[in-house]
């Protein structure tokens, strides 16, 4: 049975949410900037009117003001965007129970079984758009295909050019619609891979699609074969509500406000990141056996991992392993970026006891994290913190006030 898959993408999502919050009309050009008070602030999102004036995401605020002098500039509010995203998901679940969030402003939908209720694919897409607009005041685009790849490329490449914001890309149209396009347009290709393909004389999606599968596998392995299948409009992955649950690792990282050179300061941040990772692991009832540490700066860095004898979600146990990696591989260079993670995850259904340590001591250490989590869940994420997080170079309180690197 041929499936009908949607990729719904919210139009200028962050900017549109801000327009709704501030009661601004669509005739008011608005942008969301990471730091509106600084001309060097970066544009995170621009409304359609600002885009029409030439404003682009990622450019500096001073450049945007030159193109559009009457810009309204607001800071990001990530918690609001997350709340709106959840509301959109709930609206879409009134159309089909198969809704898979792909990003904060994109959602896959399998509407194969919804035709008797809402009509054809195009009629269902129009209904979804109208439902979101009438309820939340936001506009959306929808790509329609027989699988997720076709729906995604229909939305990204074609739907935004349609006045209705809806476009259907069938498998029979792949050779005529997709293949003539430059290789950069291929879903998941990325700038680096696209450049690599062009260096081999592959200029269009069709050039890549017409290569032999054996050659693609030999040159680029599994990743290359997945891209090759995308170029041919093939994708077997279903729309699933379980997608976000099958995690392979739990990690956390941050870019420091400036280069850290003192060991004590680096220790403080590493402990805070271990606390964050272990808290998320405990919340998911998981423990990890493999601990990873990544350190980077303009002068170099490393990424190493170490497998423990026993899986853990205890902060100090993970921190001890992280510090072992740190001391072995750190070459005294200033640190600007840090990332830690737990992988080789197992269900945390029991406590693995150490024969050489008292059971009571092990159990209390294991329970301490859950107690801190419960207090922070009830009173706020930074209600109970370690004393080291009160030091000048600590970042825990600052991170607690942010989502995705931006203030809530």
Catalytic residues: 106
Query: 294, 373, 299: which is closest to 341 by C-alpha?
Result: 294
**Contact at 8 Å (CB) between 146 and 7?**
no
CA distances 269 to 251, 254, 263, 295, 365, Å, are 14, 9, 10, 12, 21
Could you give the angle at the alpha carbon of 286 between the alpha carbons of 280 and 292, nearest 5°?
A: 70
Could you give the angle at the alpha carbon of 327 between the alpha carbons of 323 and 330, nearest 5°?
A: 115
Residue 385: both structure tokens together: 């913190």
Residue 306: both structure tokens together: 């170490």
**Contact at 8 Å (CB) between 107 and 75?**
no
**Contact at 8 Å (CB) between 32 and 75?**
yes
Task: Specify the 3-state DSSP secondary structure of 46.
Answer: strand
Non-local CB neighbours of 319 within 8 Å, separated by 6+ positions: 270, 271, 274
Q: How far apart are CA 18 and CA 334, in angstroms?
A: 38
**Contact at 8 Å (CB) between 327 and 261?**
no
31 forms bridges with which residues in the sheet? 46, 73
Strand ranges for 194-334 from DSSP E: 249-260, 286-297, 300-312
Binning the chain into helix, strand and coil, the percentages to the nearest 5 are 45, 25, 30
User: For 69, phi and psi rounded to 5 degrees?
Assistant: -60, -25
């Amino acid at each position: 049975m041929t499936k009908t898959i949607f990729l719904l993408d919210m139009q200028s999502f962050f900017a549109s949410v801000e327009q709704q919050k501030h009661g601004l009309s669509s005739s008011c050009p608005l942008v969301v900037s990471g730091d509106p008070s600084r001309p060097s602030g970066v544009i995170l999102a621009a409304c359609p009117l600002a885009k029409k004036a030439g404003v682009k995401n990622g450019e500096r605020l001073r450049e945007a003001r030159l193109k559009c002098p009457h810009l309204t500039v607001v800071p990001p509010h990530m918690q609001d965007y997350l709340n709106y995203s959840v509301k959109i998901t709930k609206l879409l679940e009134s159309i089909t129970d198969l809704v898979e969030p792909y990003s904060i402003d994109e959602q896959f939908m399998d509407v194969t079984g919804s035709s008797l209720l809402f009509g054809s694919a195009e009629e269902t897409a129009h209904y979804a758009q109208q439902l979101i607009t009438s309820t939340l005041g936001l506009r959306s685009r929808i790509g329609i295909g027989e699988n997720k790849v076709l729906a995604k490329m229909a939305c990204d490449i074609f739907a935004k050019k349609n006045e209705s914001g809806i476009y259907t890309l069938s498998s029979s149209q792949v050779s005529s619609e997709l293949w003539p396009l430059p290789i950069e347009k291929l879903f998941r290709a990325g700038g680096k891979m696209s450049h690599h393909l062009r260096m081999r004389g592959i200029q269009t999606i069709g050039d890549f699609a017409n290569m032999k599968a054996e050659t693609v596998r030999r040159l680029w392995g599994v990743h290359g074969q997945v891209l090759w299948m995308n170029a041919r409009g093939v994708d077997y992955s279903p729309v699933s509500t379980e997608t976000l649950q099958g995690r392979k690792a739990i990690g956390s990282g941050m870019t420091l406000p400036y280069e850290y050179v003192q060991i004590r300061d680096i220790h403080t941040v590493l402990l805070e990141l271990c606390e964050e990772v272990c808290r998320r692991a405990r919340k998911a009832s998981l423990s990890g056996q493999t601990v990873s540490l990544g350190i980077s700066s303009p002068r170099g860095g490393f990424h190493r991992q170490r497998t423990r004898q026993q899986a853990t979600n205890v902060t100090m146990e993970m921190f001890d392993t992280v510090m072992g990696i740190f001391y072995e591989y750190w070459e005294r260079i200033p640190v600007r970026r840090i990332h830690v993670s737990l992988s080789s995850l197992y269900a945390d259904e029991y406590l693995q006891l150490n024969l050489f340590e008292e059971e009571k001591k092990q159990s209390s250490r294991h329970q301490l994290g859950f107690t801190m989590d419960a207090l922070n869940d009830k009173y706020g994420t930074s209600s109970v913190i370690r004393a080291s997080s009160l030091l000048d170079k600590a970042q825990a309180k600052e991170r607690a006030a942010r989502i995705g690197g931006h203030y809530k």
